[in-house]
Structure 1
Amino acid sequence: MFKLKKHIQFTIFLILALIIIMVAIFAPYIAPKDPYYAVMTDSLKAPSKEYFFGTDVLGRDLLSRIIYGTRYSLFMTLTLIAIVFFIGTFLGIISGYFGGIIDTIIMRVGDMMVSFPGLILAIAIAGLLGPSVINAIIAIAAVTWVKYARLSRAMVLKIKQELYIEAAKVTGSKTYSILFKYILPNMFTLMLVTAVSDIGALMLEIAALSFLGFGAQPPTPEWGAMLNEGRTYLARAPWLMIYPGMAMVIVVIIFNMLGDSFRDIIDVKTE
């Protein structure tokens, strides 16, 4: 284990990421108002002492909706990361270790998926499945797992040439034992670094689908959907897009910097 005091940048962004996670978890206790409660007489009120970030067209408190949006955006992103991490890593390990027809099928399917621009293909899939949070996650996962499959396959091809793998085979170790005791532990750290580094990018992709109407649907307080709702009133109420946009930028930067710092630490440790 590395010491946090020796890695100041990583420590700072880890603390900030934990703060964001805590905001998501305790959103009901932090938000000053009910994010779904509409007060039509307070429609499109500018930021004030009563409404710190102003209100939307239905008179809902924008600050409360942004705080709750942390929960929705982060939950959707972490769910997506978990899906592509496990599916991609599993398929990559199977493809790299067994090879043959299994490798050919998995890699050719992956080649077909990456032959199209990722976001455009995700929009097409989400359009076929219908607009919803679950379908947005499925659509992005369908075009993202290939990255993890290719990375894990390349690592398996390298690791299985090592002498300790050959020794394990000679001594009669079973396939699942080799995979889980020798191969997976030696590649897990790099796969984890990749997953952490992708949090920001995947959060933007989810927000993009919601902004286009294929992800979270009103009245869900998700940042991309909030931007979509606010664009109609950009001239009259610019805060409807400024504050959700700022929240998204800040969170994405924090997780991107966390991933970069984590990768730098791992690179140093593996030199």
Structure 2
Amino acid sequence: MRTELASEPGNPFHPNEDFAAVALPAGGQGGALVVLDGVTPPPDGYGCRHSVAWFTSRLGGSLTELSVSEWDSPLSDVLSQAISRTARAHTQTCDLSHPRTPQATVVVARWSPTTVEYLVLSDSALLFERPDGTVTAVLDDRLSLLPRSALATAAHVDSVLRNREGGFWTAAADPAVAVRAVTGTVPREEVRTLLALTDGAGRWTEMFHEGDWTDCLTFTRKSGTRGLVQRVRELEVTDTDRAFLRRAKTHDDASAVFVEF
């Protein structure tokens, strides 16, 4: 079994707001991967004394632990428990009702000798490859399907679209959001490889169009997760005309977890 992980901040002078982990319990019969992408808050405050990096490390740590300790619980229940545990850690000091209270996208995959379970919430991605080389991308595309006019201002997104019906969902302080995630289960024998990506690493496909998701997984198998992130950084730097980046920030936190059975 091969596992690789890379996580790099977009700005080396700022904390990495991503979280990435692989859990391999003793015995080697199963495991889990967890990838979070923290939502960068606005500069005018977000009701919390803690950083987004604090939040993603807390939530990610709980998710990683619960994914293997609560083996019989569905991943949506695991996410709900992890959100509740994280909220309890700062509910007495912070305004968790603020629309920009620390939050994150979520990818979790958990495997046993017989099944692979997955959960995706918001715009990170999970790829799984079948033994015949076919690659399936599990995506929560609700944010990308919103009209550009609806995303015109941050205030509008926060008050009307973020964690609202008709908008999109992220893991923040309300455990009920877990049921909004994209979930599923496939037989373990039908999965050869898993690749989880925050959107910073997914830029390889979604922004710079270096290839489709199959090409992305193939590139990562050959070059490794660090090679994937490095290639994204090269593409960001060379896009001096912002033909691909457009209004996006030049560098984003980028994380990838690769698991090959």
- TM-score scaled by structure 2? 0.24
Higher helix proportion (structure 1 or 2): 1
- TM-score scaled by structure 1? 0.23
Higher strand proportion (structure 1 or 2): 2
Larger relative contact order (C-alpha < 8 A, sep ≥ 6)? 2
